[in-house]
Structure formats: structure tokens, C-alpha cells
Amino acid sequence: MSIRRKSNILFVLACGFLLAGCDAFSPPDAEFVVREETDQLTSDVSKAVEEELESSFGNPHQLVAWLKLPVDFGGVTGATEESTLEGPLNKFPVKFDPEADDKFVAQFQADDGGFNFGESGARLDWMTGEYAGKSMHVIGYDSESQQLTTKEKVEVPPAAGDTFVLSAGETLKSGRALYMEHCLHCHGVSGDGNGPTAQYLNPRPRDYRLGQFKFKATKPAEKVRQEDLGRVIKYGIPGTYMPSFLLLADEDLHAIVEYVRWLSMRGELEYRVDQELVLASGLTNEIIAERKSDGDEDAEIQEEVDEAVAYMPTMFDELGDQLAESWLLAEEEESLIVPAVARVEDSFESRARGRKFFLEKCTNCHGHKGRGNGSMTEDFQKDEETGELYAEPGLFDIWGNSIKPRNLTKGLYRGGRRPVDLYHRLYGGIGPSKMPNFATTDPKILWDTVNYVLHIPFEKPGEYTEVDKEYFESKKKSGGDEDKAAEQEATPTESEQTATGSTESSDQG
């Protein structure tokens, strides 16, 4: 074979490979991650859980908007008006909900004043009435008579007051696309904080699937608000790899926040379902094997499995309701932490009181100089899940990551540096990283502590020596003497007393 013939053949092969490559080597489809605990369930139950999750949330390409959840899925809502037309017809007089009016115009109005619904029309989902649960496609709108025209004709017109959603899921879709573009590589497809970049990061990106977030303005037991999530995305978290997305448009930010909440709800639902099935029903492979070896009958166990599988939709329904309730509660006034008094004026006296509070409550973790090197960072803590001690000394958060208490001398405040942000941290604590809450403490003392903390990076050596001495003496009088070590640590050494500035030209807040 001549060179020319060979090269022709190879060229044809190359084209073939190219086309095959477009298919065979294309990046794998995005998929939601299945929790370890779900995998450990016995196969019938595990499959049922996954199926139910798929039918309630879908997969990243075929999303399911579960209307039970308090997520803004997007779309234009409205209701039909009284119609004098008779069937078969495809024109319905409608009235859009007040907030939805602008959305409708923004989404569908064409430059020439007419309305453009795309080639296949915009999907219309009926929520109530005759056609509840069914979809049609809108192909036209007459603004004078306020009538929608659909592709499908119906015999019986929908009654007045039947509600619908036009092009439902727009916000969710847009949120998903934006999330995949901006957030996926760290936070992962399922929001599990395990994207491709995550392994290089410390602290690790947030895992949304426990439904808990650190930096929120709500009371300790409540969930995070949309606004808090929005702040984190907008301003970033200094000292971590979470950057600021200030340049995002407002509606994009809203879409991402909604998608993150949606992912969190999905993750938490799976987590709670697993908890129920493991702790209440004991349907894991391990436990079932144990039961069988203990003599329990196969038929009995199978009955329980079948019961659990049949009950799955109802369980999802109930847990979904509970989730919806708790997320909605977070948005209420009563969940927000509002300081009971205005901030106490920042003065040395105020900071001295704050210092005393700090010595009493905070030094175990934050250390006596606020460097984040308190005694708890050296003790071995117990893992609540397993009951065993962690392999490393120090503190761990609810996601199992090793964490350190904040070094307050750096002036880097992850949840925000406004006084109200620090107040929220003190009053509400930071549940996931085991920072206790001081909701029952006098708000004035909390403000004193805020003043003290904000001033720590600018503290001069020896500034609080007298205050510390006073504090330790009063403790001695009441009998405690184990703070000798603490007292020594708190006293500045000679070299420190002669140094001038207390902060290195450090990282910015």
C-alpha cells in the first residue's frame, strides 16, 4: 500500500474517531450523589428511596419542581377569568398575579410589542380546577382582551378562578445553570461540598445536605434565611475560598439562592429518610443480617421491608411537610435575632466588661489571647455518631471536618464584620461548628463582648492586665484555683510588653 493510500485510510479513520469521540468520550452526565447510608439500606428499600427521590427532585437534567417545598421555582402565576366563549376552544381570558405581571412582560414581550412564546409555545401547567395537573402550550396572547391562546383545544373551558403557572420552573432552571457555572466545581452537583476542586481546599466547601449553615441571623434552632445565603454569596467568606459574587445580577443571585435551598432540602430529606429507616426501622443490610443470624424469620423481615417500601411516598410527604415548615419558619420575624438594645458605646469600660465575659466563657476554645488555641483544641473530642474519640485532637464540625476556633487577633470575621453580624454569632452561636449560643445572656454584655472582640486586633500589650487581675482575684475569692494556668497565659510576657504594634500587617477583613 502506498503512503498516499495509507494516509487516506487513516484520515477516514480519524474522522470516524472524531465523530465517535463526540459521543463516547463526552463528559459523563451530571448525577446526584447517593448518600452512603442510603446505599447501606437493604436493596429493595434503598431502591425505593432513590426512586422516590428521583420522582420528587429529578436529576440535574430533568428537574422536578415539588410544589410542597417553599422554593421559588419561577414562572408566571395567574388565574382564569369568567369566559363567555364556548368550546371547543383554545382562548382563555386570564389575569396574572400582581407580581407576575412584570415577569410575564419581561419574559415574553417582543420588541414590536407583540408576544413571543417560542416555537413550541410556553408550557402552561394548570394548578387547580378541571385541568389540574395537566399542561398545555401557550402560543399567543392578546393584551386587549387579555386572552391566552393555546395550541391545544379543549371542549370544556376552565372555570373562572382556575389557577395556572406559565413556564414554571424558569427560576429553577436558571439557578441550575448558574450553579453549574459558578458553584459546582467546589460544592458538587448535589451540594455535598465535594466537587472536583474541594479536595484542595481547607476549610472544605459547605455540604448543604444536612440543612445547616453557619452564618445566619436566625435564632439557634432555626434554619438559615434566604437573605443570609444571599449575603454569603454576595460578599464571600473572607479567610476561606468562598469568593464574592458581587457582580451577579439580582435575579441571578436569587435563582442561585433558591437552587441552593432546593439542593439543601433534597439532601436533608434523604438524610432524614435514612435516619428513619436506619434508626427507627433498622432496615440496613448489616442489621438484617444480624437479625437473621439471631433467628428472626425471613418472612417477617420481608414483610417489614415491603411495608417500608409501600410507605415511602407517605414518609416523603410527611418529612417534606416538616422541612417546608422549618424553612418557612426561618423567614418569619420571630426567628430573626434582633438585639434587644442598641449597641453599647465602644469604650474601654465596655471592652473591659467584654474581656471579663470572654475570660469566663470563651477561652476554652478561643484561648486567653483570642488566638484560637484554647485547651479544647488539644483535647481529644468524642465523635457523637460513633461514640469513639476522634483520631486527632481538637474540634470537629458536624460534617466531620477538623476545625479550629477563630483566631480573633486577625480581624477576619467570616460571617461579616458589622457589629450586628458579631452579635448574631454570639447570640445564635454557630451550631455546626459547636460554638455555643449565648441567647440567654444580657444583651448589654453581648454588646460589650462585641466591642471587645472587634478591638482585639488593635489591642496593645498589657491593655487588659488590670482587668484580668481583677477577674482572677474575684474568682479566687469564690474558690476556684484551677485557672492558675489561665492566669499565667493571660499575663503578657516581658518581650510582648516592649513590642509596639500588636497585629502583623495582616489579612484584610
Partner 1 sequence: MRWFWLTFFIVCPIAAVVFCVIAPGMDWWFPSEAGSPLGERIDSLFNLILYIVTGTFIGTQIALVYVLWKSSKKDDERAWFSHGSHNLEVIWTIVPAGILLFIALYQMDVWAEYRVVSKFPKEARKAPVAEVMARQFEWRIRYPEPGRILQIQQQPTDLYAVNELIVPAAKPVMIYLKTQDVQHSFFLPELRVKQDAVPGQIIPVWFEATEPGEYVLVCAELCGWGHYKMGARVVALAEEQFEAAMEELAEEQSDDGFADAGDSDDE
Partner 2 sequence: MNDSSIKKIAFLVLLPVLVIGLCLTGAGCGGGANAVTTVTLKPATLDSDSVEGTTTGGGGTPGGNGSPETSGPGNLVGRFIFDGTAPNLSPLVAKGATVKDAEFCSAEAVPNQSLLVGEGGGIANMFIYLDKAPKGFKPEGGLSELVFDQKNCTFIPHGLVVQVGQTVMVKNGDGAAHNTNMKVIRNKSFNQVVNGNDRNGVPLIYGKPEPAPIKATCDFHAWMGGYHLVVDHPFAACTKADGTFEINNLPAGEYKFRVWHESVGLLERSLKVKIEAGKDNKLEQTYSVGSFSKL
58 binds partner 2 (CB under 8 A): yes
Residue with smaller CB distance to partner 2, 406 or 410:
406
Q: Which does 417 bind (CB under 5 to 8 A by kind): partner 2, partner 1, none?
A: partner 1
Are 50 and 304 spatial neighbours (Cβ–Cβ below 8 Å)? no
Cell of residue 482, nine digits: 484551677
Could you give the string, one character per residue 287-326, with x where binding to partner 2 holds by CB under 8 A and - elsewhere? x---x----x-------x--xx-xx-xxx-xxx------x
SS3 label, residue 194: coil
Considering only residues 35, 187, 231, 353, which one is a binding residue for partner 1 as defined by CB under 8 A?
Answer: 231
Residue with smaller CB distance to partner 2, 211 or 238:
211
The whole-angstrom separation of Cα 462 and Cα 460 is 6
One DSSP character per residue, 169-191 reads THHHHHHHHHHHHHTHHHH-TTS
27 binds partner 2 (CB under 8 A): yes
Near partner 1 in 197-226, by CB under 8 A = 197, 217
Considering only residues 8, 43, 143, 275, which one is a binding residue for partner 2 as defined by CB under 8 A?
Answer: 275
291 binds partner 1 (CB under 8 A): no
Closest distance of CB 240 from partner 1, Å: 11
Considering only residues 17, 51, 349, 499, which one is a binding residue for partner 2 as defined by CB under 8 A?
Answer: 17
Cα–chain center distance at 385: 22
**Contact stretch for partner 1 (CB under 8 A) within 111-119, 140-148, 329-337, 479-487:** 329-337
The candidate with the shortest Cα–Cα distance to 94, out of 146, 136, 139, 140, is 146
Considering only residues 129, 394, 436, 461, which one is a binding residue for partner 2 as defined by CB under 8 A?
Answer: 436
Cα–chain center distance at 221: 15
Considering only residues 34, 89, 154, 180, which one is a binding residue for partner 2 as defined by CB under 8 A?
Answer: 180
The whole-angstrom separation of Cα 83 and Cα 79 is 12
Cell of residue 357, nine digits: 465575659
Closest distance of CB 75 from partner 2, Å: 9
508 binds partner 1 (CB under 8 A): yes
Residue spans of alpha helices (H) in 145-249: 170-182, 184-187, 226-235
The whole-angstrom separation of Cα 277 and Cα 243 is 38
Could you give the string, one character per residue 447-466, with x where binding to partner 1 holds by CB under 8 A and - elsewhere? x------xx-xx--------
Residue 7: CA count within 13 A, CB half-sphere = 3
Considering only residues 429, 443, 457, 492, which one is a binding residue for partner 2 as defined by CB under 8 A?
Answer: 429
The DSSP element (H or E) to which 402 belongs, if any, is strand 402-403
Could you give the string, one character per residue 399-428, with x where binding to partner 1 holds by CB under 8 A and - elsewhere? ------------x-----xxxx--xx----
Question: CB 358: neighbour CB atoms within 10 A?
Answer: 22
Question: CB 272: neighbour CB atoms within 10 A?
Answer: 19
Residue 282: CA count within 13 A, CB half-sphere = 8
20 binds partner 1 (CB under 8 A): no
Residue with smaller CB distance to partner 2, 154 or 177:
177
Considering only residues 1, 3, 247, 299, which one is a binding residue for partner 2 as defined by CB under 8 A?
Answer: 3
Closest distance of CB 164 from partner 2, Å: 11
Tell whether the torsion through CA atoms of 275, 281, 284 and 290 is positive or negative. Answer: positive
Q: In sequence order, what are the beta bridge partners of 336?
A: 218
Expressed in angstroms, the distance from the first to the final Cα of the chain is 71
Residue with smaller CB distance to partner 2, 173 or 234:
173
The whole-angstrom separation of Cα 286 and Cα 291 is 9
Closest distance of CB 246 from partner 2, Å: 21
Residue with smaller CB distance to partner 2, 15 or 106:
15
Closest distance of CB 201 from partner 1, Å: 10
Considering only residues 177, 201, 210, 420, which one is a binding residue for partner 2 as defined by CB under 8 A?
Answer: 177
233 binds partner 1 (CB under 8 A): no
393 binds partner 2 (CB under 8 A): no
Tell whether the torsion through CA atoms of 444, 446, 448 and 450 is positive or negative. Answer: negative
Residue with smaller CB distance to partner 2, 101 or 379:
379
SS3 label, residue 438: coil
Cα–chain center distance at 27: 27
Tell whether the torsion through CA atoms of 374, 378, 379 and 385 is positive or negative. Answer: positive
Residue with smaller CB distance to partner 1, 115 or 423:
423
Which residues here bind partner 1, judged by CB under 8 A? 182, 185, 197, 217, 227, 230-231, 235-236, 238, 241, 243-244, 246-247, 333, 336-339, 341-343, 411, 417-420, 423-424, 447, 454-455, 457-458, 501, 503, 505-509
